Amino acid sequence: MFEKYGGFAEVRKVVSAFYDEVLDDNLLQRHFVGVNMRQLIDHQTKMISSLLGGPAHLSKEELARAHRRREITEEDYDRLCDILDETLDDAGFEDADRDAVVREVENLRSFIVE
């Protein structure tokens, strides 16, 4: 899927669009106050690229460490996954590919939600 959807450059555009929506969301925006969004988008581009079969890799331990004490709730994570699904749809991801990416993100829930 990584090559199918344009590699790093296109994944970065999708991740940027995703965070535009997240930062406009009343439930989620509080988690990003004071966060270096450029750095976060870089990290998230690597993570999504990895989920798409690309060469980047972030360990689950890194994810857990990065989200520790962020007070991310189940409701927050559900909303985040909904926004991701919508963003992937807007970016032209096929239904099966979109479902696969969201499912992989769902599988990371225990490393992110407190």
Please give the pLDDT value at position 60.
Answer: 77
Q: How far is CA 34 from the centre of its chain?
A: 18
Please give the pLDDT value at position 70.
Answer: 81
DSSP state, residue 55: S
Could you tell me the pTM of the whole model? 0.91
Rounded average pLDDT over 81-94: 98
User: What are 6-39's pLDDT values in tens digits?
Assistant: 999 999 999 999 999 999 999 999 999 999 999 9
CA distance 70 to 50: 23
Q: How far is CA 75 from the centre of its chain?
A: 16
Region of 55 (left: φ > 0; alpha: ψ -120 to 50; beta: rest) is alpha
Rounded average pLDDT over 100-111: 94
User: What are 30-82's pLDDT values in tens digits?
Assistant: 999 999 999 999 989 999 999 999 987 777 787 888 788 788 999 999 999 99
Please give the pLDDT value at position 114.
Answer: 81
CA distance 70 to 3: 33
CA distance 105 to 77: 10
Please give the pLDDT value at position 59.
Answer: 79
